[in-house]
Amino acid sequence: MSANDQSFVLRSTVTSPFGRKVRMAIDVLGLSERVTLHPADTLDGNDTLRQQNPLGKMPCLLLGDGTALYGSAVIIEFLQELAGRDTLVAAQGPARYAALTLATLADGITDAALLMVYEKRFRDPGTYSERWLDHQRGKIGRALAAFEAAPPDPAKTDIVAIGLSCALGYLDWRRPVQWRDNHPRLAAWLADFARHEPAFARSAAPTT
């Protein structure tokens, strides 16, 4: 069976910000009919996620032959090739590497935000490391400042916009830092992007 006939399983919760990146890409690329979401529990040692991805991280895309792909950027590249497009990441050239670098910057916001959330999830109250939390806050602050200085084009849905919107959506949801008041251009970018790209709202976690 060629990849063009295959259907896929995505291991992710609907609240995972990296999973949201992939769910948005699936929607944008018109692949929703071909991908089934199977929730994963990263804390459950018996969840097959740890066999599929030894890191025990989601999202993880399972191909028909059992092959597992992980890393949201890797999965998105696979999906856009499957869809026969290069709208999310240029196939080659300087634009490709510029976009992948900015996408890494956006993902770094999400990584740091997750580490702040995990600090409080895995440690007992009173034992949180303020030094560690500050270290992560610094990363988020510097990355947000870089995007505030040069927000992307809100009318363009690519791997940068997907990663950045999911990072900001996660900051809004978990609130490890307050970002809106001191990043007005970025807040405006998110509002404009959400108007331009309905997959952002469609990929939001249910509120109930």
Residue 164 CB-density burial (10 A; 0-12 exposed, 13-18 middle, 19+ buried): buried
Closer to ligand GSH by CB, 108 or 141: give it. 108
Q: Which of 56, 151, 169, 176 binds ligand GSH (CB under 6 A)?
A: 56
Contact between 163 and ligand GSH per CB under 6 A: no
User: Least distance to ligand GSH from the beta carbon of 2, Å?
Assistant: 26
Q: Does 52 bind ligand GSH (CB under 6 A)?
A: no
d(CA 61, CA 50): 13
Phi/psi at 176 (5° precision):
-70, -25
CB nearer ligand GSH, residue 28 or residue 76: 76
Looking at residue 50, its amino acid is R
Stretch that binds ligand GSH, among 57-65, 79-87, 140-148, 199-207 (CB under 6 A): 57-65
Q: Is the dihedral of CA 93, 98, 99, 101 positive or negative?
A: positive
28 binds ligand GSH per the rule CB under 6 A: no
Residue 98 CB, shortest distance to ligand GSH, in Å, is 19
Smallest distance, Å, CB 208 to ligand GSH?
Answer: 21
What is the gyration radius of the CA atoms in the chain, in angstroms? 17
How many C-beta neighbours within 10 Å does residue 204 have? Answer: 15
Which residue in 58, 69, 76, 113 binds ligand GSH (CB under 6 A)? 58
Residue 157 · residue 196 · CB < 8 Å: yes
Give, in order, the Cα–Cα distances in Å from 201 to each of 25, 39, 59, 169. 13, 20, 19, 10
Q: Which of 10, 11, 17, 200 touches ligand GSH by CB under 6 A?
A: 17
Size of the site for ligand GSH (CB under 6 A): 13
**Is 203 among the residues that bind ligand GSH (CB under 6 A)?**
no
Residue 194: phi, psi to the nearest 5? -60, -35
Query: Judged by CB under 6 A, does residue 114 bind ligand GSH?
Result: yes
Binding to ligand GSH (CB under 6 A) within 63-82 occurs at 71-73
The number of residues in the chain equals 208
Helix axes 130-149, 184-196, angle to 10 degrees: 70
Q: Which residues bind ligand GSH (CB under 6 A)?
A: 16-18, 42, 56-59, 71-73, 107, 114
